[in-house]
Amino acid sequence: MSVYVVGDVHGHRDALVDALRAEGLVDSDGNWAGVDDRLWFLGDFTDRGPDGVGVIDLVRQLQAQAAEAGGSVQMLLGNHEILLLGMYHFGDRPVPSDFGPRSFARSWEINGGLLSDQDRLTPEHIEWLTERPLVAVDEDHLLLHSDTLEYLDWGEDLESINATAHEILSGSNIEAWWDVWRRMTTRYAFRGPDGEENADRLLAALGGSRIVHGHSVIADQLGIHPTQIEGPYLYAGGKALGIDGGLFVGGPCLVVKLPFEPED
């Protein structure tokens, strides 16, 4: 049994299938082949790429097949799922703000939202997405979408953060929804002189000994071109692992086996 993680797919369903096949997690027909392996997606299935709802459907199919086979496929919400759902629920309804006009429609459009995804969303998609957690621990890995400390605003531990987020996303308080979108869009908490300390703080509160996150394209963190990325990025004194290869800017779809061991 192995644990794998995948970062921000952003609508690139075909590249995802190819990458999963290369790791033996799906077969040539795109069905689950991982037997009892555990596969985690760290969010951002939609926007910027052609087939976000196709990614959601594929993951739901693999989730059912993996459960049958004794494995598991799970997903965390990313900021783009909040945007997708916010657009679905609120559209261009104004968000009360002192900083000029704001709405989910406006941010959704600016951040690569696709009408073809919105049009294909069903109540089943909405219900399934709304049930997904924000944070999880698998073995000693703390899994997050965004490299931020803002998660702690919703609770002091894993369960309370997921419960608070679920309550907000099950309700219709547009300001609370907007706050989830805004906070999850922040990044780079584990970089710089305070990076390791920040990572330690989050690990102490939520569990695990290493954070694994998506959201921030590795190439941007390293200052190189996305096509030069070949693997995940271990930093913050080994306390953080970035796995977003930057599919939407031409980078690879990284399927990372945990624990990640860097080559010398």
Type and span of the H or E element at 180: helix 174-184
125 binds Mn ion (CB under 5 A): no
10 binds Mn ion (CB under 5 A): no
79 binds Mn ion (CB under 5 A): yes
Q: Provide the mask over 23-62, with x wherever binding to Mn ion is found by CB under 5 A and - wherever it is not.
A: ---------------------x------------------
Which of 43, 45, 35 has the alpha carbon at shortest distance from 2?
35
> Cα separation of 63 and 32, whole Å?
8
Type and span of the H or E element at 138: strand 135-138
> Cα separation of 259 and 238, whole Å?
11
Which range of residues in 86-94, 116-124, 149-157, 207-215 is near Mn ion by CB under 5 A?
207-215
Which range of residues in 31-39, 71-79, 98-106, 135-143 is near Mn ion by CB under 5 A?
71-79
Q: How far is the CB of 92 from Mn ion (least distance, A)?
A: 22
Type and span of the H or E element at 75: strand 72-75
Which range of residues in 92-100, 172-180, 213-221, 252-260 is near Mn ion by CB under 5 A?
213-221
Complex with Mn ion: residue 30 or 112, whichever CB lies closer: 112
Complex with Mn ion: residue 26 or 189, whichever CB lies closer: 189
Strands (E), 146-254: 210-213, 233-235, 240-242
Which of the 8 DSSP states describes residue 29?
T
Which range of residues in 29-37, 72-80, 204-212, 250-258 is near Mn ion by CB under 5 A?
72-80
Q: Is the distance from CB of 232 to CB of 214 less than 8 angstroms?
A: no
Which of the 8 DSSP states describes residue 238?
T
86 binds Mn ion (CB under 5 A): no
71 binds Mn ion (CB under 5 A): no
